[in-house]
Amino acid sequence: MSDGMSDHGSAQRRLGRVLVTGGAGFLGSALVGRLRRDGVEAIGSDLDRGAANPCGLRACDLTDRNQVDALVDDQQIDTIIHAGAVSGPMVMAERPLDIWQINVTGTAYLLDAARRNRVSRFVLCSSVDVYGPSSAGVISEDTDFAPETVYGASKVAAEAAMTGYSREHGVDAVALRFSWIYGPGRRTPTTLERLIRAGLAGEAVTLDDSASDLTHYLYIEDAAAGVLAAAKAPAGLPRHAYNISAGDGLLLGEVVKTLVSHLPRLRASFCESGTPELGPTGFDLTNAARDLHYRPQVSLSQGLHKYVEALEHDR
């Protein structure tokens, strides 16, 4: 993923003690696990730690300033990875104010705690939803924001807060705009999970989508690698935000064909047909490759194979 040096000439920074918010979530739990396997002291926090709490997560409600301050003040944190947020536009869509409070107010509380405690790197997990679904072509980080959901707008606002704290108060911060993260461990329902479970059971499934719809899947291991690349990058990054994706999008029909190669019993059909709606055809990774040395390593076929194996094991 990196050769230990950046193109702007400095060695990678040491992570030190790392706080990962959202440590019980899909991306957060993957990050806590990977950091600890690498010998990094990683502290995970989450609102819902789970009954068993095998990872020793700290309880923290990000919308409670006192809890956020106590979490950061007590730990002597060197790096914050902020993955604790509403995870997509399909989650809590009927509770828009709660989305805003978690994704925006919670981020501001954490940024202020980072400022007061002189945390040396803050990584904000953002989303390609900041661009909205109607931005066409290959999307670079300079594409105008055009969110069409409260979730997307909340990510724009969180990034704006991060940029303000960076420029006015010197918080060393960077935002990562993820595409559609998939893989073992995701708990929110997804099209891929539905397809895999149907294929494992030998059941027919009809999707409320078109085979010509564009998808932007990113395997969980590549998402985690992008976060760590940003966390380890030296100070003085030339950009405040980077796309983290698998690059070019793929038609949903092609995704299903790839999945059938791993699940021969899968029988999938589509409710809709026709040309895809205008929207992103992919996300430019030029800046992430140059500044973070980020390049996705897991192909769709490899990622789907791992996902199928995981779901089959859990049956």
314 within a domain of the structure (yes/no): no
CB 244 within 8 A of CB 178: yes
| Max Cα-Cα span within the chain | 57
How far is it, in rounded angstroms, from Cα 147 to Cα 153?
Answer: 6
267 within a domain of the structure (yes/no): no
Count the domains in the chain: 1
The CATH number linked to 31 is 3.40.50.720
31 within a domain of the structure (yes/no): yes
Instruction: Choose among 168, 191, 313, 213: nearest CA to 259.
Output: 191
Q: Give average pLDDT by consecutive 10-residue segment, the chain, 315 residues.
A: 43 94 94 96 85 75 96 93 90 93 97 98 98 92 96 97 98 98 90 95 91 94 98 95 95 95 94 70 97 97 96 85
Q: What is the CA radius of gyration of the chain?
A: 19
| Model pTM score | 0.93
pLDDT of residue 51: 52
The residue segments making up the domain with residue 67 are 18-182+220-246+281-296
265 within a domain of the structure (yes/no): no
* Residue 121 structure tokens: 């790197």
How far is it, in rounded angstroms, from Cα 15 to Cα 7?
Answer: 19
pLDDT of residue 49: 60
40 within a domain of the structure (yes/no): yes
For residue range 208-217, what is the model confidence (pLDDT) as tens digits?
888 989 999 9
pLDDT of residue 209: 86
pLDDT of residue 87: 83
57 within a domain of the structure (yes/no): yes
